[in-house]
Amino acid sequence: METKIIVPPIKCQGIKTKLVPFIKEHVKRNPNGLWIEPFVGTGVVAFNMRPKHALLIDKNQYIIALYKDIQNKKITATIVREFLEYHGPKLLEKGKDYYLEIREQFNNNGEPLFFLFLNRSDFNGMIRFNRKGKFNVPFCQKPNRFAKAYITKICNQVERVAEVIADNDWRFENGSWKEAFQAAGEDDYIYLDPPYIGRDTSYVGEWPDEEAVALAEYSHQTAANVCLSMWKENEFRRNEHLFQYWSDFTWHEYNHFYHIGAKERNRHPMVELLAIKR
């Protein structure tokens, strides 16, 4: 069995790459059941769990479009390489101006390859849209972003996730998290990685308290197994929502650090939580 973590070609803040071994350790599922993710995001958990049958939903239409195109072989590692090798030198030559040009084109055409380009050359790998639905993340200020080795790295990531998708029966859908619960049965497993409560999320807009409470209610009512992945506490505060709405689930904690800036004094402890219903 492969132990190396599969890293997806899409990046975002809060990606669960480092938590994959912890998640795999505690999530016990029926291999014949449907694996359901209402907030699939980058897909890092699904790519590493590698379920035979999966329903992967997200409100971000561009992430879903990218993975659908990879699934349908409309986008391949070769196509990605050709695209980045064409646009990379132009970014090197023109810098920020070319990034903004690509961003404007993406906001007009919504093409997945343009989305991938922006995601890998914007500030901190953020995914963010304004109230008009326009991608508005600034440039990372690295004109040589698409050096040969970096392009190869991205292409390898595309190739690896394409292999996983091709080996399994997966369905990617752009939609609401509630649709995922409607599809769930008692043999199925719902993995939840929702946005932080009360904050504008990086790519789907606001996630208000009412939605978070509704998610907890649906999770308690469904016949399916459920795993919620969420931060529990840090040195400054704790997530009261967890204690109020998820305390009857089985909790598993994972301690790690997050950084704000490069200096050691900006290294802060964080407790992540898996709340599981079997």
Q: pLDDT tens digit string along 164-206?
A: 999 999 999 999 999 999 999 999 999 999 987 755 555 556 7
The answer to whether residues 103 and 45 belong to one domain is no
From 158, 192, 218, the end of a domain falls on: 158
> What is the average pLDDT across 56-61?
96
For the whole model, what pTM was predicted?
Answer: 0.92
The verdict on residue 271 lying in a domain is: yes
For the chain, give the percent of residues with pLDDT over 90: 82
The answer to whether residues 45 and 83 belong to one domain is no
From 107, 129, 158, the end of a domain falls on: 158
CA distances from 275 to 15, 40, 160, 254 (A): 18, 17, 30, 12
The answer to whether residues 128 and 265 belong to one domain is no
Q: pLDDT tens digit string along 105-122?
A: 999 999 999 999 999 999
What was the pLDDT predicted at 207?
82
- The domain of 143 spans 77-158
The verdict on residue 170 lying in a domain is: no
The answer to whether residues 154 and 87 belong to one domain is yes
> What is the average pLDDT across 72-79?
99
What was the pLDDT predicted at 199?
53
- Rounded CA-CA distance 52/161 in Å is 14
The verdict on residue 71 lying in a domain is: no
The answer to whether residues 50 and 82 belong to one domain is no
The verdict on residue 147 lying in a domain is: yes
> Residue with structure tokens 């329903």?
55
Which CATH number belongs to the domain containing residue 98 in this structure?
A: 1.10.1020.10
Which CATH number belongs to the domain containing residue 237 in this structure?
A: 3.40.50.150
Q: What is the domain count for the chain? A: 2
What was the pLDDT predicted at 37?
98
Three-class HEC string of the chain:
CCCCCCCCCCCCCCCCHHHHHHHHHHCCCCCCCCEEECCCCCCHHHHHHCCCEEEEEECCHHHHHHHHHHHCCCCCHHHHHHHHHHHHHHHHHHCHHHHHHHHHHHHHHCCHHHHHHHHCCEHHHCCCECCCCCECCCECCCCCCCCHHHHHHHHHHHHHHHHHHHCCEEEEEECCHHHHHHCCCCCCEEEECCCCCCCEECCCEECCHHHHHHHHHHHHHCCCEEEEEEEEEECCCECHHHHHHCCCCEEEEEEEEEECCCCHHHEEEEEEEEEEEC
The answer to whether residues 29 and 87 belong to one domain is no
The answer to whether residues 182 and 266 belong to one domain is yes
> What is the average pLDDT across 235-263?
84
Q: pLDDT tens digit string along 241-251?
A: 999 999 999 99
Residues 243 and 260: beta-carbon distance below 8 Å: no
Q: pLDDT tens digit string along 200-224?
A: 555 556 788 999 999 999 999 999 9
